[in-house]
Amino acid sequence: MLVVLTIVVLIVTAPLRRAGRAREAGSREAGAGQTGGAESSDDASSADDDERSSAIAELEAERDAKYREIRDAELDHRTGKLSDADFEAVDQTLRAEAIEILHQLDRERGVDPESSDAVASAEHPSAPKQPPADTR
């Protein structure tokens, strides 16, 4: 039983530990830059790309977790664990948070959040995407 609990804790805390290591690495790099170490532009751009990739991966993990929360709330509502009023409040909050995560993800990727399908996908994460309407 203790082994199972340990494995669950390690899996659940993995994103937190990864984020902590990334922050430590970033502060070490910033500290090395302050000590007079000359960093080439290739190293700087590589570090920026790594930082952006890390931020995108973290936001994608947050997005997926938020989608799971929304699906869990929907299941709790369907099974009667959440009243209609409670579900509406929880659902509205979770979807607003999901939309904000999607906007952050779009900004990190360099995409205009207002022109993307981010809002539509956040409104119904468990629903399949609809193809665009034929405008002929």
Q: In this structure, is residue 83 part of a structural domain? A: yes
- Whether 71 has a pLDDT exceeding 80, the answer reads yes
Rounded Cα distance between 85 and 20, Å, is 38
Contacts for 29 with CB less than 8 Å, ≥ 6 apart:
47
User: What's the burial of 77, exposed, middle or buried (CB within 10 Å: 0-12/13-18/19+)?
Assistant: middle
Rounded Cα distance between 122 and 99, Å, is 6
Q: In this structure, is residue 75 part of a structural domain? A: yes
pLDDT band, residue 56 (cuts 50/70/90)? very high
Residue 30: the pLDDT is 58
Q: Which of 1-5, 11-15, 56-60 has the lowest mean pLDDT?
A: 1-5
Q: pLDDT tens digits for 117-132? A: 545 554 445 554 445 5
**How many structural domains does the chain have?**
1
Q: What is the mean predicted confidence (pLDDT) over 25-33? A: 59
Domain that holds residue 68: 56-127
Q: In this structure, is residue 41 part of a structural domain? A: no
* Of 103, 135, 134, nearest in space to 120 by CA: 103
Q: In this structure, is residue 89 part of a structural domain? A: yes
Q: In this structure, is residue 72 part of a structural domain? A: yes
Q: What is the mean predicted confidence (pLDDT) over 62-69? A: 97
Q: pLDDT tens digits for 87-102? A: 999 999 999 999 999 9
Residue 117: the pLDDT is 57
Q: In this structure, is residue 51 part of a structural domain? A: no
- Burial annotation 91-105 (CB, 10 A radius, 16+ → b, else e): beebbebbbebbbbb
pTM for this predicted structure? 0.51
Contacts for 17 with CB less than 8 Å, ≥ 6 apart:
none
Residue 9: the pLDDT is 75
Q: In this structure, is residue 43 part of a structural domain? A: no
Q: In this structure, is residue 107 part of a structural domain? A: yes
pLDDT band, residue 48 (cuts 50/70/90)? confident
- Which two three-digit tokens encode residue 2? 């203790």
